[in-house]
Amino acid sequence: MGKLFVISAPSGTGKTSLIQSVLDDPQSSKTKLGISCTTREKRLKEEHGVSYFFISQQEFVNRVNKNEFLEYAKVFGNFYGTPKDWVLSILEKGENVILELDIQGALQVRQTFPDAKTIFIIPPSYEELSNRLEKRAQDPYEEIQTRLKEAKKEVSIGKDFNQVIVNDDFNEALADLKNFIFSDNLPSRERQEISRNSLNLLLD
């Protein structure tokens, strides 16, 4: 039986880049990124069963009523959900699955699948997180402030995940993440201390 990993983080922490680098590693040959069902329209170059499972709203609601999702949410008028049958079929092959989810989705999965390994990625500080959000130039100032406020709420929940990893240095954070996923090893004492200090700073 494979393992289910649920990775969450505040916006701008570098979660997506870290996950992609994990999947690019040769060790990840038996590790897959979760595919969500969605009711939104398929975009150009997206493939059914690769980017998403594109289904109708009625089918989505039917599947919710049958408890067929590990987690689901409505975002900007469209539904998104992680199909339980797909995840279980991969795990039963002895392969691992990584789900990249927001904090609420991660909590839903933890309730419906208690054996899931939850990982929370944190920034070294809110100042650094603010700098990263500003540098990517995707959001106006007001939106960045909203994301920072949301980050504080997320950290207060994510601190209790199975593993907290600080993305202070990308390569170091990536090594910590790979060790946990591929070898079930904890970060070094030094890295754990750095994560603990950053978490205390964020929770202060």
Taking only the tens place, the pLDDT of each residue in 149-193 is 999 999 999 999 999 999 999 999 999 999 999 999 989 999 999
CA distance 196 to 124: 10
- Record the pTM: 0.92
Answer for the pair 113, 101: CB distance below 8 angstroms, yes or no.
no
Taking only the tens place, the pLDDT of each residue in 118-155 is 999 999 999 999 988 888 767 788 888 988 999 999 99
Say yes or no to pLDDT of 68 above 90: yes
Please report the domains of the chain, with CATH numbers, ordered by start residue: 4-34+96-203 (3.40.50.300)
What rounded mean pLDDT belongs to the chain? Answer: 94
3-class secondary structure, 59 = helix
Q: Which pLDDT belongs to residue 89? A: 97
Which residues are CB-neighbours of 67 under 8 A, at least 6 positions away?
A: 84
User: Residue 104 is encoded by which pair of tokens?
Assistant: 């609420």
